[in-house]
Structure 1
Amino acid sequence: MKKILLFNKYDKDTLLKQVLSDPRERQVLSFYRYVKIENPREFRDMLYETLFPLGTLGRIYIAQEGINAQVSIPTDEYQSFRNSIDSHRELKNVFFNDAVENKKESFLKLKVKVRSKVVADGLKDDTFDASDVGTHLSPLEFHQALTEPEVVIVDLRNNYESEVGHFENAICPDAGTFREELPMVEEILAGKEDKKILLYCTGGIRCEKASAYLKHKGFKKVHQLQGGIISYAKAIKENGLSSKFKGKNFVFDDRLGEKVTDDILTVCYQCGNPSDRHTNCANLGCHVLFVQCESCQEKMENCCSERCLDFIHLPIEEQRKLRKEGRHHEYETHHLTRKHVGR
C-alpha cells in the first residue's frame, strides 16, 4: 500500500487544475471543539492520514486545547467524512456547520497544523475557568433575543469582517485581531455588568473563550450564538424570517464571504462606490486585505496602490530580489484603511 505524504507537494496552479477537473460537487463546512489533546503532533498526522484519502481540502489547527477546522469535502464523501471524524473519541459527535454557499475552489489543499492555541486570543487560560462559558442560544433564540430591550450585542470578529456585515445595533470594535479585541470589548462594556450580553462570531469558536473571559470579569448574563453567523443565516432562510444580520458574512477561504442579505455596508477603498468585495493586494510583499470594486480591480490589477501596481510590473527576478532584501516596502503606501471609507 502506497504511503500517504503528510503534506502537500504541489504548486497553486496544479492544485487549482486538480480541483476544477474533479466533477464532484463539494460541501464547505467548519467545526471546532475545546477538548484536551494529549499529543497534538501525533493527532495531527493521524487526522491527515484519515482525511486526505476522502478528498478533504482546507485548514485544520490542532493544539492541546482542541481543534478548529474549515474544510471542503466532496458531497458524496460527506458521510464517510462524518464517520472518520467520529472515529476519534476527542471529536465524537462534534457539530458540523455547513456553509450556506459553496465554491469548488474555496480550498486547494489540505493543511493540518499544530499550534499553541486553536485561536490566538492572548489569554492566560490558567487565570480563569475557560470551561465556564456563556449560555448558548440557538439561532432562533438569538433572533428573538435581539429584540429584547436594553440588550447589548457584541461582534467578536475583526474589523475587516464586521465592516461588510453585522447584526443591527451591534458593537463592532475596530480591532485587527481577536487578541486586540478582547481588552477593547471589556473596556467598551464597562458598567454593563448586569446587562444581557449577546456575543456572536463566524462559527462560534471565538465566543466560547470570550464568554468565559467576560464571566470571569464579572459580567453576569453572557449569551452566545450557537454555530455563529453561519448557523443563523441557514436557520433564518429555512424558517422564512427576515434576517437581522445585514450584508455579507466574511469567511476565511477563497470565497472571502457568503451573502446573507443584499445590503452593501461598505464602499470601495479606492473610488468610494458601494462594494463589499474583499481582495488581497496582488503585490505579494504587501498582500493587504481591502475592499475593491470590480472596476477598480480591473484598473488597478488587484493592487491597493499605484506603487504596488508599479511593483508587480517589475521583472519577477527583481521583485524577488527586492522582497529578499526587504525593500519591497518601498513600493507600499498602506493608505487604504477603514477610516479612509468613514466606517
Structure 2
Amino acid sequence: MYPATDMIDNLPDQPRPFKVMAFYKFADLADTAAIRPELAHFCCARGIRGTLILAREGINGTVAGTDDAIDALQTFLMDDPLFGGRLEGAEIKFSTAATMPFHRMKVRLKDEIVTLRAPEANPALRVGTYVEAKDWNALIERNDVTLVDTRNDYEVSLGTFERALDPGTQTFTEFKDFVARNLDPARDRKVAMFCTGGIRCEKASSYLLAQGFEEVFHLKGGILNYLETVPREDSHWQGECFVFDERVSVGHGLIAGNATLCRACRQPLTPQDRADLRYEEGIACPHCAGDAERRLAAAQRHHQVRLAEIRGSAHLGDAARHAAQQAKARKRARREADRTTRAETSASS
C-alpha cells in the first residue's frame, strides 16, 4: 500500500542549503493583530518563506531560509519583547531542503492554530502524556493500546504506523465524529495518537480527556521526530510522511521522499499513481481524472506554467510577483520613453 522508503533518490549528501523550521506552541497570544506585521516584516527582510498561523491559542507554522535567517527567527520568537517569553518551550523541528520549499511568506490570523471547533479542547490547560520517540515502539506494541492516526486521509495514504486506525477524515474537524463512532472510554482504556509534528495530537488528546478517556498518550514531536530519531531498522513506520511544502513527503532521516503533488486536486501521488494511465503531469491524476471541469482548469494553468518556463519567467510566488512588477516597470519606462520621443519630434518639426 505504501511506497518503499528505500526507493528515495534524494541522497543525504546532496547539497541542502535551505534550513526548514516547523514549530508550534499553545500560548495566550491575545495581541495577534499587533504581532502579525512585525513578524511578517522580520521574515521578509531576511528572505524567509513559508506560512505562520497566529491565533489567540498560539502559533503554528513551517518556514524556510538560510541557516542564519532561521536562527535569527528562532531567537526573535523566544527573546523579543513582542512575545514576552510566551513561546518559550515551543515544539521545534529542523530539517533541510535542496531547493526553497515555499513560494512566498504568509502570516495569517485565524481563530485556531489547528482547527477542531471544540472549545473543551484546550491544550494550554490539559493534554495527554507525551511519549518520546525512543519509547514509542514499546508503547504501540502493547495489545491494550488503541493506536490512532489523527491525520487526514490523503496524508495517511502515503504512510502510517503498523496497526494504526485511520479515521478517514478529510479535515481535522471530522475527528470528533470519528471519536464518537469508533472510540469508547469504557473499552479503549489506553489511546495513543500521532500526527506529523505533534500539534494535532496535543489538541486531540485534550479533546479525548474532555470526553472522559483516562489514559491518553501522544508522540512528542510527531512522526517527523520519530523518523529523525529512530533508526530505520528499528522503525514501525511504513511508507513516507506527507509534509505541507514542496517536498511533499519525507522518509527516515527526513530525506525528501518520492511523492509529488497533483497540481489539479492537490492529492499526494506515489510512483504507482504517476505510472497510472490516467495521470497527466500538471493536469490530472487517478484521484481527479473524472472531474472534467477541474481537468480543464488545470490544463489551462499548466499551459501558462509552460509558457512561463519557455519565456524564462516565474509563474508562482514572490518570484512571480517580483517578475510582474519588473515587467510593469519596463512597460512604464517604454511609455515614458515613447512620450519623450514624440515630444522631441514635435518640438523639432
TM-score w.r.t. the length of structure 2 is 0.71
Instruction: Measure, in 1, the Cα distance between the counterparts of 2:219 and 2:299.
Output: 46
Residue of structure 1 equivalent to 2:111: 116
Q: Is the 8 A contact 2:25 2:60 kept in 1?
A: yes
Does the 8 A contact of 2:248 with 2:268 survive in 1? no
**How far is the alpha carbon of 1:294 from its aligned partner?**
3.3
Distance 1:242 1:311, change over 3 A: same
State how 1:29-68 maps to structure 2 within 5 Å: 29-68=21-60
Residue 305 of structure 1, aligned match among 286, 289, 292: 289
Q: Is the 8 A contact 1:164 1:276 kept in 2?
A: no
TM score, norm. by length of structure 1: 0.72
Q: Which residue of 2 aligns with 1:291?
A: 269
1:252 aligns with 2:244: yes
How many pairs are equivalent? 274
Tell me the equivalent position of 1:207. Answer: 201
Question: CA offsets per residue over residues 279-325 of structure 1, 9 Å max, x none?
Answer: 2343xxxx3525363344896233132635455556999xxxxxxxx
Q: What is the aligned-residue identity percentage?
A: 27
CA contact (8 A) 2:50 2:103 kept: yes
CA RMSD of aligned residues (A): 2.9
CA change 1:177–1:313 in 2 (3 A) is closer
Of 161, 184, 188, the residue aligned with 2:155 is: 161
Letter in 2 for 1:190: D
User: Is the Cα–Cα contact under 8 Å of residues 158 and 268 in structure 2 kept in the other structure?
Assistant: no
Tell me the residue number matched to 1:27.
Answer: 19
User: What are the within-5 Å matches in structure 2 for residues 1-343 of structure 1?
Assistant: 25-87=17-79, 88=83, 89-99=85-95, 102-125=97-120, 131-190=125-184, 192-193=186-187, 195-237=189-231, 241-260=233-252, 277-282=259-264, 287-289=265-267, 291=269, 293-296=273-276, 300-302=280-282, 303=284, 304-305=288-289, 307=292, 308-313=294-299
CA deviation digits over 1:166-222, x for unaligned, max 9? Answer: 000000111101001222124211255552211100001111111111111111110
1:11 is matched with: none
Q: Is the 8 A contact 1:202 1:228 kept in 2?
A: yes
8 Å contact from structure 1 (residues 193, 218) kept in 2: no
**Structure 1: runs of 5+ lacking an equivalent:** 1-22, 262-274, 318-343
Letter in structure 1 aligned against 2:88: K
Q: Distance in 2 between matches of 1:115 and 1:191?
A: 32
RCO comparison, higher one (Cα < 8 Å, 6+): 2
Q: Distance in 2 between matches of 1:212 and 1:176?
A: 21
Amino acid aligned to 2:211? K
Gaps of 5+ in 2: 1-14, 304-349
Distance 1:224 1:109, change over 3 A: same
Name which one, 1 or 2, has greater alpha-carbon Rg.
2
